[in-house]
Amino acid sequence: MPPVQAAGRLPLIGFYALYFSITGIVLPFLPAYLESLTLSVTQVGLLLSISPLLALVAPHFWGHLADRTGRAGRVLTLLAMGACVGFAPLLFVDRFPALVATFVAYAFFASSITPLVDSLALQHVARAGGSYAHLRLFGSLGFVLSSTLFGLAVDSVGRATVRVPFVLLALLTLWSLTLRDGPRPQAEPVHPLAGFQLLANRDLCWLLAGTTLHWIALAPYHGTFSIFVVSLGLPPSVVGSSAALGVAAELGVMFLYPHVAHRITPRHLLALAFASSALRWAGLAVATSPTVIAALSLLHGMSFGAFYVASIAFVSRRVPPHLRASGQALFAAITFGLGGLVGYATAGAGYDWLGGHRLFAIAAGLELVAAALILLISPEEPGRPA
């Protein structure tokens, strides 16, 4: 690997690994920690819906700032620092109103980290070559290691669930200083509403409709899986091992994607990912065995890995280079913002009302609708890998 290319890759690899190590603890374990504070599952769902609510707005602001200044790396440093400061009150607050304020402060910054680092990674790939998927897989590796080690290290979900992520957020802020900004693809000014103007593309709208519905269907897993496992009388290690197996499968998909991207279009890969997810949720709708639950987690390679790289590939091929950050911000805002807001808010209430098994059955049906929406996109030729 040429020295210049390696110098650009290593900061991105480290950022992905650190950030998703944080996610590997927060995503599977935080819901159960919040419930341990005597909150209802509905309240947990409302707290988890704050991040997607902020994701409807915040990524447009930060994405436009990155495109306008051409300093996505420095914007990421600001986001990491803000997320660290916003997360800090979780170390000691335990009342619902204080938790709401804390989640708002944290989400204003954290909800924009992924689209910004993705845009920076795509910029590096366009400039120096390589594959976005091969950069992003280091994030999945960080997730696997942190979720597995944390699940094995704790006997119950307690304060360590917030202490360890806080330390990692501080390290992420320091590491972000190593990120480098490349030259802007074009010198033309960027309109503040440029991201929204991309919605004139009909196929992009069908993509966003399908990915948003898919993210709604994922909300019962993201928001209630640890609660569901505990309700079955299973130990926290089942949560950690299931998450680790799932992201290990995700790693495999991201590693293989550049080798098969020329044979399958993002449209067809997304439809396959959503159909596989429907099978996964249908299995959880009847599962009680830890072995079966863990085995079903292997389909996470399709539920997230294939879904994410195919979505990034689709957006990168349909959005002009000078609007790369705005395009990724639009995808994040609609998919993770709107989809997460609806998904988390309804998953918490749905779990209280229906229970875990019935909630996963509904998620399976939503995935089939998402697959049908994706097939409404105009046919395209397989292209370069993302």
pTM of the shown model: 0.74
Is it the case that residue 375 has pLDDT exceeding 60? yes
Model confidence band, residue 382 (pLDDT cutoffs 50, 70, 90)? low
For 76-85, the pLDDT digits (tens) are: 999 999 999 9
Instruction: Assess contact for 100 and 50: CB atoms under 8 A.
Output: yes
- The C-alpha atoms of residue 181 and residue 120 are separated, in whole angstroms, by 8
Assess whether pLDDT exceeds 80 at residue 183: no
Amino acid residing at 283: G
Q: How confident is the model at residue 187 (pLDDT cuts 50, 70, 90)?
A: very low
Residue-wise pLDDT for 257-311, tens only, equals 888 888 888 899 999 999 999 999 999 999 888 889 989 999 999 999 999 999 9
Dist. CA 120–CA 101, nearest whole Å:
30
Is the predicted pLDDT of residue 353 greater than 60, yes or no?
Answer: yes
How do residues 218-266 score in pLDDT, each as one tens digit?
988 887 887 888 888 887 778 877 877 887 898 899 889 888 888 888 8
Q: Which whole-number Å values give the CA distances from 91 to 80, 150, 163, in the listed order?
A: 17, 17, 6
Q: Looking up tokens 């939503």, which residue turns up?
A: 366
Token pair in block for residue 186: 């074009």
Task: Supply the pLDDT for residue 244.
Answer: 76
Phi-psi region of 370 (alpha: psi -120 to 50; beta: other; left: phi over 0): alpha
Q: What angle do the packed helices 58-69 and 72-87 form, to 10 degrees? A: 150
Tokens of 377: 């996109």
Give the model confidence (pLDDT) of 33-66 as tens digits. Answer: 888 888 887 788 788 888 888 888 888 788 778 8
201 vs 37, which has greater pLDDT? 37
Kindly state the tokens that stand for 376: 């409404």
- SS3 annotation, the chain: CCHHHHHHHHHHHHHHHHHHHHHHHHHHHHHHHHHHCCCCHHHHHHHHCHHHHHHCCHHHHHHHHHHHHCCHHHHHHHHHHHHHHHHHHHHCCCCHHHHHHHHHHHHHHHCCHHHHHHHHHHHHHHHHCCCHHHHHHHHHHHHHHHHHHHHHHCCCCCCHHHHHHHHHHHHHHHHHHHCCCCCCCCCCCCCCCHHHHHHHCHHHHHHHHHHHHHHHHHHHHHHHHHHHHHHCCCCHHHHHHHHHHHHHHHHHHHHHHHHHCCCCCHHHHHHHHHHHHHHHHHHHCCCCCHHHHHHHHHHHHHHHHHHHHHHHHHHHHHCCHHHHHHHHHHHHHHHHHHHHHHHHHHHHHHHHHHCHHHHHHHHHHHHHHHHHHHCCCCCCCCCCCC
**What mean pLDDT value characterizes the chain?**
85
Query: Residue 109 above 80 pLDDT?
Result: yes
> Could you give all domains of the chain from N- to C-terminal order, each with its CATH number?
3-182+193-374 (1.20.1250.20)
Of 127, 183, 143, 169, residue with least CA distance to 9: 127
Q: What is the pLDDT of residue 193?
A: 52
Would you say residue 3 has pLDDT above 50?
A: no
Residue 157's Cβ-count burial label (10 Å; 0-12, 13-18, 19+) is: buried
